[in-house]
Structure 1
Amino acid sequence: MPLASLSARTASLTALTQQIQKKLQQALDSQSQRSSLLQELFTDVALEVDVRAQDIILSMDDDGASSREDGIKSSLCFYDVLADHYAKMPDSGKPILDLIVQLWSQSFASHIFALLFHKWLFEVPLENSDGALRYASALVQGATNVFWIDIQSNKRRFFSLFRYLFEDVTLVPLRINKIPLQSRRDLYLLLSRFLFFYDIVDKLDEFLFHFPNFPNAFLVGGPADVFVIEFTDQLQKLKVEPVLLHYLSQMKVLQGLELRLTTSTRMKACLYSFTSPGAPMYPTRAVRHAAWEALDLLFPGIYLEGA
C-alpha cells in the first residue's frame, strides 16, 4: 500500500474511533440521554460507507484491489471496517471496549459490541476466561438483536457478521473453542435460527458436523434434531411475509435428515399451523400454499393424510 494511502486510512480509522469513544463517553456521563446516544451510535456504525470514502478506508493491495474478501464495495458498512481494524490493532479499540463494558446493561450496548468486536473476540488472545464468558454472552445477545433487525426489515445489512460467525468461527475449531462451552452452544443455536434467512444452507451438513454436545441430547436427539427444533421455533415467530415465505422455500434442504419421531412430528405440526386461515398464525394465501408445498416435499402423502 502506498505510504500516502496508508496514512490517509490510518487517519480515517483514528478519527472514527475517536468519534465512537466520544459518543460512548457522552452516554456514560448523561443518564437522561444514554439510551438515545447509544441508539444513534449503533445506527452510525451500521451505516454503509460512502463509495467515495471506500478507497481511503479500505486497505488496497499492490494491484489496487480491495482486501475485503467478498469484493463487494457497495455493501461495505462502517462496522465491517472497524471490526477488522480492532482485530488487527486491538490496542486502538481498547478505550471503546472499556466504555462498552461500563454500559453493558444498557440498550444497544450489546449491539455495538457485537458489530465492532466480533472478530476481536476470536482473533485476539484474551487475558482471562471470565472475560471470555462475559464477552461471548454479549456477542450472542447483540448478534441476536441485530439479526432480528434484519428480519423485521427484510434486509441483510448484517450478513457479514452472520457469515463470519458461521464460516470463520463455528466451522473453525481453533476459534470456536476460544469461548466457553455454554457460549458455544448458544452461538450454534442462534445461527440455527437465522441460517435460512442468510442463505448459507449449502453448508448445513458441515455446520451439523461441528455441533457441540448438548446435555439433554439423550432426550432431544442429535445435532439435526436440535437444529430443526430451533428452526421450527423460529418459523413460528416470523411475522414478515416475505421472510416467512423465504424460510418455507428453503426447507427442501431438510430432506434426508435423520430425525427422531418427536422432532419430525414437531416440524409437521409447525407446518400444519400455517396451512389453515385464521388463528393462531393467520397465514396469507401465499404462506398457506408454501406451507403445503413444504409438507408435501418433506412428508410425501401428506395430502392423503389430511383428506
Structure 2
Amino acid sequence: MTETSGSQPPGWDMRRTVSSRAVQGSTGTLYTRWYEVLAPYFCADEGASEALLSACRRLWGQPFTTPTFALLLHQWLLVHPGAGGADQRLKYLNVLVSGARQLFVGDAETGSAAFAPMFSFLAERVVLSPGGARLAALPETGREAVMALAASFAPYYLGPSGDYVTFLDSFPAPSAVSAGRPPPRDPGRDGGRREGVDFALDRAVEALAREVTAEPGVLAFLAALRALGGTGLLGALRTSTRIRLQAELYALTQPGGPRYASRAVNRAAFRALDALFPRGRRARRLVNAAFRVLHPGEWPWLWWDALWDGARAVRAWARLAGRAARGLWARLAARLRWRPGTGRGILCG
C-alpha cells in the first residue's frame, strides 16, 4: 500500500491506492485501489470471509468498521445467496448499505471517485444483472435498500454521458423483481419500466436534497440530470416525483436559503431546469431576478449576470451574422467565374 503521512495508522485512509508492485492482481486484472484486490479474494474464500465477518462483529462500535465491512465483503454478500446466514443476512445487508452510503457520500463531498469500482459492481453486476437473478436472491427489504443505494448515487458516478440515461432506462421496477418477473423491455408502454424510472429518479432527488451538499457533488448531479432533457424519461415520472425534482432544482437556483448554493451551482441548476422543464423559462428568470433585488448582497452578481447574458447574446448574434455572410459569399463566389488574363469576372447564368 502507499504510505500515509504523520502518525496515521496503516489502513485508516480508505482511498489509498495499491503500490506499483501490487497493481496487477493474481487474476491478471489491473487494480488501483486496495479493496479491488481484497474484495474478490474474500468473495472467493468463504472461510476468510467468515473470519472477517466475525472480526467485524466484535468491532461494530468503531466508526471505521461499517465502511470497511462494506468495502471488503460487498461482493461476498451480494453474490452468494447464503452469505452471512439466513437469519442475519438482512442485518448484514443493511450494514453493507449503510457503510457504502458513507463512502459514496464521501466521494461526492470531495469530488473524487475512489469508490467508483464498488459502485460499478453494485449497479452493473447486481441491480442490472442479467435477468435480475442476483437482485431477486436478496431479501425483499434488503433488495429495495440496495436498489435505492445504486439509484441515489448513479447521477454522480455515471455523469452526464449516456450511461446515466441507459441506467435509468434499464432500471428494474421493485415490484417486478419482488414478483420474480423479468424486467420489461419497453420503457414507453410498460408501466413496470415507468415504475423503475420513477423509483430511481426519486431516490436521486432525495440524495441531492439531503446528502449531497458540497459543490463538486451537486454539480455532477445537475450535469447528469440535465442530460435527461429530450430523452422522454421524464414522462415516466409520477406527478409528485416531477414536482419534487422541479422544486429541488429551483431551490438550487436561489442565492439564499435553504441551500445557500454557490454561483456555479445556481447556473448549473438553471441549465438543468431549462433542459428538463423548458416551459416557463422566462418566468423563472424574472422571478429569480426579483428575488435577487431583495438581497443587496446579490446586486453585483445581478449586474454581472445581466452583462454576461448580454455579452453571450451579442456573441451568438455575431456568430450567426458571420455564418450568414460566409454563406452568402460562398454562393456568390460559386456563381462568379474569373476570366484569366482580363482581370475581370463574369457571372454564370
The answer, yes or no, to whether TM exceeds 0.5 is yes
Structure 2 gap segments, 5+ residues each: 2-7, 179-193, 287-349
Once the two structures are superposed, the pairs formed by residues 172-211 of structure 1 within 5 Å of their partners are 172=129, 173-199=132-158, 200-208=163-171, 210-211=172-173
Stretch of structure 1 that moved more, 195-204 or 135-144: 195-204
Q: How does 1:1-307 map to 2 (within 5 A)?
A: 40=9, 43=12, 46-55=15-24, 58-60=25-27, 66=28, 68=29, 71=30, 73=31, 76-126=32-82, 128-172=85-129, 173-199=132-158, 200-208=163-171, 210-213=172-175, 222-237=195-210, 238-255=212-229, 256-257=232-233, 258-306=236-284, 307=286
Partner letter of residue 284 of structure 1? S
The Cα of 1:48 is off from its aligned counterpart by 0.9
Q: Over residues 34-62 of structure 1, what are the superposed CA-to-partner deviations in whole Å (9 max), with x where a residue is unaligned?
A: xxxxx95653564211012334xx115xx
Q: State the AA in 1 paired with 2:20.
A: V
Instruction: Give the structure 2 partner of residue 18 of structure 1.
Output: none
Query: Cα offset for 1:202?
Result: 4.2
8 Å CA contact 1:273–1:280 kept in 2: the answer is yes
1:181 positional shift:
0.6
SS at match of 1:274: helix
What letter matches 2:135 in structure 1? I
C-alpha contact 1:147 1:158 (8 A) present in aligned 2: yes
1:239-269: CA deviation from partner (whole Å, max 9, x where unpaired): 2212211211111343312212222111111
Alignment TM-score, normalising by the size of structure 2 = 0.66
Q: Give the secondary-structure state (helix, strand or coil) at the position aligned to 1:222.
A: helix
Q: Which amino acid is 1:178 matched to?
A: A
How many angstroms apart in 1 are the aligned matches of 2:80 and 2:206?
A: 34
> Quick one: structure 1 residues 41 and 50, their matched pair in 2 at CA, closer, same or farther if it must change by over 3 Å?
closer
Task: Report the Cα distance in structure 1 between the residues aligned to 2:103 and 2:36, rounded to whole angstroms.
Answer: 14
Partner AA of 2:133 in structure 1: L
Q: Deviations over 1:67-91 (max 9, x none)?
A: x2xx4x4xx2221111111111221
Using the alignment, how far apart are the partners of 1:53 and 1:261 within structure 2?
51
Q: Secondary structure at the match of 1:156?
A: coil
Deviation at 1:203, TM superposition (A): 2.9
One-letter amino acid of the counterpart of residue 226, structure 2: K
Aligned length: 252
Q: CA deviation at 1:100?
A: 0.7
How many angstroms apart in 1 are the aligned matches of 2:108 and 2:11?
17
For 1:185, give the aligned amino acid.
E
**Structure 2 CA distance for partners of 1:282 and 1:98, relative to 1, 3 Å:** same
CA distance in 1, matches of 2:141, 2:247: 29
Quote the residue 1:31 is aligned against: none
TM-aligned CA distance change 1:130 to 1:294, over 3 Å: same
> Relative to structure 1, is the Cα distance of residues 263 and 114 closer, same or farther in structure 2, using a 3 angstrom cutoff?
same
1:123–1:271 CA distance, 2 compared to 1 (3 A): closer
After superposition, the C-alpha distances for 1:167-217 in whole angstroms (9 at most, x for unaligned) are 011112221223211111011111111101111414323542x231299xx
Q: Secondary structure at the match of 2:12?
A: helix
1:231 Cα shift? 1.6
Question: Per-residue CA shift, 1:127-170, capped at 9, x if unaligned?
Answer: 63212212211111111111111112211111111100110111
TM-score normalised by the chain length of structure 1? 0.74
